């Protein structure tokens, strides 16, 4: 069984030192977890007043104290950590998810589908949909609003992802309708890790959750509280792509008939 920890907490806008210290304390509580997942933009928080402010409070990945803390903790705890971070690259910002394991950065995913005012702040990701292997489990990443666009989820599943980590800053409960459907349509686990709190005019929705490959929510956090949800999954369930004894999620696709 693979142990998954989802950390729902409240990053504070622009306060990367405080967010690093708070996240570090919470990560330390996830002893023996194989994969730890934090929300979108856990280092800087989310609702920047403008792009200049966002540039000021963000860092290049290799100079980001939050990313360094993730690397240190992953080495010390011999684990894999995935978190949303604000990634500065030259004059550009990306809303990214970083995956680290045993002290090293394995990769970054840059959010493709930008929500609302994110379009004033970030560049859209270029669509790198990589799979990362931790032991035998294969991990893909998507970020928050990406959930409304089914194509990358299918591609990650076709690339054999067992679980898709989904750091989020959800402000509605629509993901509860859509993410279970994405998990059953692709027969993958999905770990939607959300934040709590209010930032300027936005209230975040909490209720982080984990879906199994049957589209069932098997763990769920509360709406308002800081919380760590701990789950154990048999990731091999994602490798059975049969829907019925005669239907397979990929082999039954009929692209030639979609016109
Ligand atoms: C969102 O994509 N943070 C709503």
Taking phi over 0 as left and psi of -120 to 50 as alpha, with beta for the rest, 123 belongs to beta
- Does residue 111 have an active-site annotation? yes
Q: Which of 87, 144, 187, 241 is catalytic?
A: 144
Ligand 1 pocket residue status of 194, Cβ below 6 Å: no
- pLDDT confidence of residue 18: 98
Half-sphere exposure in the Cβ direction for 24 (13 Å, CA): 17
Q: Which atom of ligand 1 is nearest to the CA of 46?
A: 3
Instruction: Determine the distance separating the centroid of ligand 1 and the alpha carbon of 40, expressed in angstroms.
Output: 8
Taking every pair of C-alpha atoms in the chain, what is the biggest distance, in angstroms?
Answer: 56
Query: What are 111-160's pLDDT values in tens digits?
Result: 999 999 999 999 999 878 999 999 999 999 999 999 999 999 999 999 99
Question: 119 C-alpha to center of ligand 1: Å?
Answer: 11
**Contacting residues for 112 by C-beta, under 8 A, at least 6 apart:** 124, 125, 127, 146, 149, 152
Mean pLDDT of the chain: 97
> What is the whole-number distance in angstroms between the Cα of residue 171 and the centre of ligand 1?
7
Distance 44 CA to ligand 1 centre (A): 14
Q: What token pair was written down for 78?
A: 């011999």
Q: How distant, in Å, are the alpha carbons of 32, 71, 120, 146, 256 from that of 243?
A: 33, 39, 42, 24, 21
With CA atoms as reference, report the closest residue to 82 among 44, 109, 122: 109
Closest CA to 147 of 170, 119, 118: 170
Residue 225 is a catalytic residue: no
Q: Helix or strand or coil: residue 24? A: helix
Over range 182-193, report the average pLDDT. 98
**Contact status, residue 98 vs residue 108, Cβ threshold 8 Å:** yes
- Both tokens of 167, joined, read 């750091």
* For residues 238-254, average pLDDT: 96
CATH number of the domain residue 170 falls in: 3.60.110.10
Atom of ligand 1 nearest to the CA of 143: 2
Per-residue model confidence (pLDDT) at position 128: 83
What is the domain count for the chain?
Answer: 1
pLDDT of residue 182: 98
The finding on whether 171 has its CB within 6 A of some atom of ligand 1 is: yes
Q: If you take atom 2 of ligand 1, which residue's CA is the nearest one? A: 145
d(CA 213, CA 118): 30
Domain that holds residue 159: 2-257
Within 10 A of 248 (CB to CB), how many other CB atoms are there? 13
């Amino acid at each position: 069984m693979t142990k998954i920890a989802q950390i729902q907490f409240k990053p504070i806008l622009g306060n990367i030192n405080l967010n690093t210290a708070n996240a570090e304390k919470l990560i330390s509580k996830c002893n023996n977890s194989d994969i730890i997942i934090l929300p979108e933009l856990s280092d800087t928080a989310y609702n920047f007043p403008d792009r200049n402010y966002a540039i000021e409070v963000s860092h290049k990945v290799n100079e980001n104290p939050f990313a360094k803390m993730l690397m240190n903790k992953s080495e010390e705890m011999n684990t894999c950590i995935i978190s949303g971070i604000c990634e500065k690259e030259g004059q550009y910002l990306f809303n990214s998810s970083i995956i680290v394991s045993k002290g090293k950065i394995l990769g970054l995913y840059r959010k493709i589908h930008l929500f609302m005012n994110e379009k004033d702040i970030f560049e859209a990701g270029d669509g790198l949909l990589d799979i990362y292997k931790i032991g035998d489990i294969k991990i893909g990443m998507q970020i928050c609003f990406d959930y409304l666009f089914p194509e990358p989820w299918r591609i990650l599943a076709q690339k054999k992802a067992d679980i898709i980590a989904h750091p989020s800053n959800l402000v509605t409960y629509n993901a509860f309708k859509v993410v279970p459907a994405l998990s059953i349509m692709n027969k993958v686990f999905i770990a939607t890790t959300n934040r709590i709190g209010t930032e300027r005019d936005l209230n975040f929705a909490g209720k982080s959750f984990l879906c199994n490959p049957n589209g069932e929510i098997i763990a769920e956090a509360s709406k308002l509280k800081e919380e760590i949800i701990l789950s154990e999954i048999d990731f091999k369930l994602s490798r059975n792509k049969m829907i019925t004894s005669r239907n397979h999620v990929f082999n039954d696709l009929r692209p030639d008939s979609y016109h």
